Amino acid sequence: MHVKARVERALRRHLNGRDKPYDLGEAMRYALFPGGARVRPSFALGVAMACGDDRPTVTDAVGAAVEFLHCASLVHDDLPCFDDAHERRGKPSVHARFGEATALLVGDGLIMLAFQTIADAAPAAGDRLGPILRIVSDSAGMPRGLVSGQAMESEEACMIPAYHAAKTGALFEAAAAGGAIAAGGDVEIWREVGAKLGEAYQIADDIHDRAGTNGALGKPTGQDERFGRPNSVDEHGLQGAVRVLKRLIAETVEAVPDNAEAASLRALIGAQTERFVPKDLVTAAA
Amino acid sequence: MHVKARVERALRRHLNGRDKPYDLGEAMRYALFPGGARVRPSFALGVAMACGDDRPTVTDAVGAAVEFLHCASLVHDDLPCFDDAHERRGKPSVHARFGEATALLVGDGLIMLAFQTIADAAPAAGDRLGPILRIVSDSAGMPRGLVSGQAMESEEACMIPAYHAAKTGALFEAAAAGGAIAAGGDVEIWREVGAKLGEAYQIADDIHDRAGTNGALGKPTGQDERFGRPNSVDEHGLQGAVRVLKRLIAETVEAVPDNAEAASLRALIGAQTERFVPKDLVTAAA
């Protein structure tokens, strides 16, 4: 089965029967489907497959949990008290469509669902459960996960590397290390691959925000300037940022250990990050 | 060590080092300390002690996790899109003091912290980890946990028993069953005690909302009427609700299995619920 299809199936399986009461369930499905590129769970599955994927239900649960946390952060990020974004993935954002109270609960419910999903995998996970829960919960929480990253956005003296590591890197690390743990692989090697990909992805996202086509990837551009948020293009310039991105992708691909599944994982890494960058920029920076 | 002191120590231990970045950490401590009655974690610890409490760090983690989830729900409940409550526990609510964006993140961060706390206990928990994660995550999530309960509040045709079971009962069940699992006790017996106590507690809360002194327990009264929320006093009348409460407390105390620790747990149950009811009502309904 294709990785993306496997991700969608896992998301539906773990949501199944939980999308209640009805109105909240509808809003939760709306927040999840159709999804974006599913970069994080695809990456988690790719890593697990590169490690043998001997417990596929555990792999699926890690991928789904990471995606649920990511989607939760998007729903809460879009709320009026943050970005006040009315569109997401080419349709009205969750609060624009269902109201703020429901959007708040959708985000909360998706966070809970991430951990219910890990609990679903507990019987198959055996002694891998504790390490999976450790990395996934830390990647979303404080002091160095997603929630801390969102808080750093509004700080006066925001340190860009720490901010990017928390806001984006941590969940990529969890996808990689979680995928590795699910399949009994080497956590530290894969955590490093995840950290590098997260860094690359954040720079790709920064470039898209400054130079991409508004709405082209299902999200508006120019948001960082609008909210005065740190963007690495300010530091490196546009061409410089593209060069940094290409270097990071090369390093990520390099960090993937050689084995039977490495080629497809490397292709996935390249494809997922480069689609963020306008083609003329890629050529110009070559 | 007194149960309440042990709860406070556990909350601080699991928060320790995670309350960053600084501003978010400050708001999170504000949301947690000083706390309310700590009913849920005290109950979790009481149950674990009645079951032998052979892995106290696991017991502490279950209690702290349940309290973190409870506090998260209070912070999000108080937001303008829900109750728009400006006070909580006799001081400004989190969003009134730190702004909506920070309050949203405090709630999210507390949810993550609940699961980071369970991860902290993983090495000591061994094969009890999966069942603990199962019950705690389900008690907070959908379709029958806290988040679903909050969503039911705004439904047209809200069924009171299902609403109360989700909004209040589930976390009490998780406190009881989680405390039992942490100590290797019988899950089903204690889940039943927790469900009954949750039901009693919800009715006590309803009575306080209708007949209590505004602010006496650190929360305003008259909220259910203000928001058109279901309140069991409408169904039973005030005296009737007090009678139901007394019956439920008696049943809860009855359901506690006899052993060395049963007496103190029974006393805790009585004290925690009866303080909600104005004294003249207790006498009148006797």
Chain B touched by A23 (CB under 8 Å): yes
Pairing of strands B91-92, B87-88: antiparallel
CB A168 within 8 A of CB A140: no
pLDDT classification of A284: cutoffs 50, 70, 90: low
**Omega before A21 within 30 of 0, i.e. cis:** yes
Q: Which residues contact B184 (CB under 8 A, 6 or more apart)?
A: B51, B52, B54, B55, B128
Contact A25 B142 (CB under 8 A): yes
CB B212 within 8 A of CB B166: no
The closest CB to that of B130, out of A119, A137, A138, belongs to A119
Question: pLDDT tens digits for A44-62?
Answer: 999 999 999 999 999 999 9
| Helix, strand or coil, per DSSP, at residue A148 | helix
Average of per-residue pLDDT across B4-17 = 97
Residue listed under structure tokens 């008290």:
A81
Contact B101 A130 (CB under 8 A): no
Residue listed under structure tokens 């988040």:
B147
Q: What are phi and psi of B212, to 5 degrees?
A: -80, 175
* Residue scoring higher pLDDT (B55 or A153): B55
The closest CB to that of A116, out of B20, B118, B137, belongs to B137
Question: pLDDT tens digits for A187-204?
Answer: 999 999 999 999 999 999
Residue listed under structure tokens 């086509």:
A213
List, in sequence order, every residue forming a beta bridge with A87; answer none if it has no partner.
A92
Minimum CA–CA partner of B130 in chain A: A122
Question: pLDDT tens digits for B70-125?
Answer: 999 999 999 999 999 999 988 999 999 999 999 999 999 999 999 999 999 999 99
Q: How many CA atoms lie within 13 A of B61 on its CB side?
A: 24
| Helix, strand or coil, per DSSP, at residue A230 | coil
The closest CB to that of B133, out of A19, A25, A118, belongs to A118
Average of per-residue pLDDT across B187-216 = 90
Please give the angle made by the CA atoms of B171, B175 and B177, to the nearest 5 degrees: 110
CA distance A114 to chain B (A): 9
Distances from the Cα of B259 to the Cα of A41, B49, B254, B265, B266, angstroms: 49, 10, 12, 10, 11
CB-neighbour burial class of residue A56 (10 A; exposed 0-12, middle 13-18, buried 19+): middle
A-facing residues of B in 220-279 (CB < 8 A) are none
- Return the pLDDT at B66: 98
Please give the angle made by the CA atoms of B219, B281 and B249, to the nearest 5 degrees: 80
The closest CB to that of A23, out of B138, B141, B151, belongs to B151
The span from the CA of A221 to the CA of A55, in Å, is 40
The span from the CA of B27 to the CA of B35, in Å, is 13
Quote the tokens at residue A147.
């929630």
* Span between the terminal Cα atoms of chain A, in Å: 35
Size of interface A-B (CB pairs under 8 A): 166
Q: Which residues of A touch B137 (CB under 8 A)?
A: 112, 115-116, 118-119
CB-neighbour burial class of residue B135 (10 A; exposed 0-12, middle 13-18, buried 19+): buried
CB A43 within 8 A of CB A78: no
- Return the pLDDT at B263: 85
Q: Which residues of B touch A19 (CB under 8 A)?
A: 142-143
The span from the CA of A153 to the CA of A159, in Å, is 9
Statement: residue B139 has pLDDT above 70: yes
Q: How many CA atoms lie within 13 A of A198 on its CB side?
A: 29
A-facing residues of B in 147-166 (CB < 8 A) are 147-148, 150-152, 154-155
Minimum CA–CA partner of A27 in chain B: B151
The span from the CA of A39 to the CA of A42, in Å, is 5
pLDDT classification of B219: cutoffs 50, 70, 90: confident
Question: pLDDT tens digits for A217-267?
Answer: 777 788 888 888 888 899 899 999 999 999 999 999 999 988 867 888 888
Statement: residue B282 has pLDDT above 70: no
Minimum CA–CA partner of A123 in chain B: B130
Chain A touched by B31 (CB under 8 Å): no
DSSP class of B254: H
CB-neighbour burial class of residue B258 (10 A; exposed 0-12, middle 13-18, buried 19+): exposed
B-facing residues of A in 39-98 (CB < 8 A) are 72, 76, 79, 81-82
Q: Which residues of A touch B129 (CB under 8 A)?
A: 122, 129-130, 133
CB B276 within 8 A of CB B208: yes
Q: How far is CA B13 from the centre of its chain?
A: 19
Let me know how long chain B is.
286
CB B93 within 8 A of CB B85: yes
Question: pLDDT tens digits for A130-183?
Answer: 999 999 999 999 999 999 999 998 776 667 788 888 989 999 999 999 999 999
Please give the angle made by the CA atoms of A195, A199 and A204, to the nearest 5 degrees: 145
Q: If we measure between CA atoms, which residue out of B269, B258, B273 comes closest to residue B3?
A: B269
- Return the pLDDT at B283: 60
**What pTM value is reported for the model?**
0.95
Let me know how long chain A is.
286
Q: What kind and span of H or E run contains A91?
A: strand A91-92
Tell me which of B108, B144, B160, B227 to substitute to probe the interface with A (most A C-beta atoms closer than 10 Å).
Answer: B108
The span from the CA of A95 to the CA of A102, in Å, is 7
